[in-house]
Amino acid sequence: MGVRRAAKGFAEFLVETVGEAVAEALLGALACALLLCLGFLLHLSWSFSPRSTVLGLGVLSLLLAYGGWRTFRDPVEGGRRRGIAAVTTAFFTLTATTAVFLLVHGTGCDCL
């Protein structure tokens, strides 16, 4: 009876360990692919028009700054986010989440 329980426990441990290794490899590959796509898009944009690239990055920076300001400021009583405030807040949240994902999983990417 004890041997079966030990074998079952070892099998569960093995499945969990292999599952975590596969998941880590998939997340690493996804982070590497995301970094490559972002770099390719930046290169493509710069080769098309450097001025438009700088202007676009400036606009994105302003949207991120406004979204961060709207996210972390004290909420107004009875008010909810509408229009551009909701869009910039969602954009800021998506960008921050992507940055954290790349920081955690993209640091081990040897594709660069």
Residue at 51 is within a domain:
yes
Residue 46 is assigned to a structural domain of this protein: yes
DSSP code per residue over the chain: -HHHHHHHHHHHHHHHHHHHHHHHHHHHHHHHHHHHHHHHHHHHHHHH-HHHHHHHHHHHHHHHHHHHHHHHSPPPTT----THHHHHHHHHHHHHHHHHHHHHHSTT----
Range of the domain at 65: 2-105
What sign has the CA pseudo-torsion 65, 41, 111, 20? Answer: positive
| Predicted TM-score of the model (pTM) | 0.69
Instruction: Give 6's pLDDT tier (boundaries 50, 70, 90).
Output: confident
Between 55 and 28, the more confident residue is 55
How many domains does the chain fold into?
1
Does 110 map to a domain? no
Quick check: is 63 in a domain? Answer: yes
In a domain, 21, yes or no: yes
